[in-house]
């Protein structure tokens, strides 16, 4: 009986996580960038050129407002 309850709880957790990632697909980027603030947010990440990063930031003006001004 206990194993069934644990299995149902795990299935429930997986379903909730999948639902969250489906409804909020950008949550991965929010989690990944959550520690960045100020000038860290504007720094060019590894593997991207300055032009690529500026183009990316221009697609998200609400997130990179201080970097684009």
Same domain, 60 and 48: yes
pLDDT at 39: 61
Same domain, 40 and 53: yes
Same domain, 2 and 29: yes
Helix (H/G/I), strand (E/B), else coil: 45: coil
Q: Which domain holds residue 20?
A: 1-33
With a cut of 80, say whether residue 57 has pLDDT above it: yes
Arithmetic mean of pLDDT, 39-61: 87
**C-alpha closest to that of 57 among 21, 31, 33:** 33
Give the number of domains in the chain: 2
With a cut of 90, say whether residue 16 has pLDDT above it: yes
pTM across the whole model: 0.46
Arithmetic mean of pLDDT, 33-48: 74
């Amino acid at each position: 009986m206990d194993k069934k309850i644990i299995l149902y709880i795990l299935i429930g957790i997986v379903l909730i996580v999948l639902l969250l990632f489906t409804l909020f697909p950008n949550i991965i980027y929010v989690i990944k960038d959550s520690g960045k603030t100020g000038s860290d947010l504007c720094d060019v990440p590894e593997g991207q050129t300055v032009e690529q990063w500026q183009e990316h930031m221009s697609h998200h003006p609400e997130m990179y407002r201080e970097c684009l001004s």
